Amino acid sequence: MRLNMEVLKDTLLVRPGGELDLAMADRFRVAMEETMDLQPVRNIVFNLSHVSFIDSSGLGVLLGRYKRVAKNGGKVILVGVQPQVRRILELSGLLRIMGESASEEEAVERVS
């Protein structure tokens, strides 16, 4: 798994790549938590355009970060969801609680 993160204003842009599975979930969660603890983050934009697979462990990481920002009135927006990942997100119900945008720019604008 590759992971790139950037904070713009109060929004964390997260760009993972590869598979978000049991083997990578803990690393993914810890990296995000460390970034969120160091910088004030109200919203999260997940760019999933380079994610080829997600399992329940990866879903748990997304849901946990959603809960963290939602309790403070923040939002989570998904961008670039691939078809094979979309199906899992739909089945899990995460697409119903998280927003979706066509681009990172649009997502950042929506949460501003």
Find residue 4's DSSP bridge partners: 15
Euclidean distance between CA atoms 40 and 5, whole angstroms: 14
Instruction: Locate all alpha helices (DSSP H) within 56-99, ordered by sequence.
Output: 56-70, 83-92, 94-97
DSSP label at residue 61: H
67 in Cβ contact with 59 (< 8 Å): no
Task: Return the sign of the alpha-carbon dihedral for residues 61, 63, 68, 74.
Answer: positive
pLDDT of the residue at 1: 80
pLDDT values of the chain reduced to their tens digit, one per residue, 112 residues: 899 999 998 999 999 999 999 999 999 999 999 999 999 899 999 999 999 999 999 999 999 999 999 999 999 999 999 999 999 999 999 999 999 999 999 999 999 8
> Could you state, in order of their start, the residue ranges of all structural domains in the chain?
2-111
Q: Please give the model's pTM, rounded to 2 decimal places.
A: 0.96
User: Which of the four CATH numbers 3.30.750.24, 3.40.50.2300, 3.60.20.10, 3.30.950.10 does domain 2-111 have?
Assistant: 3.30.750.24
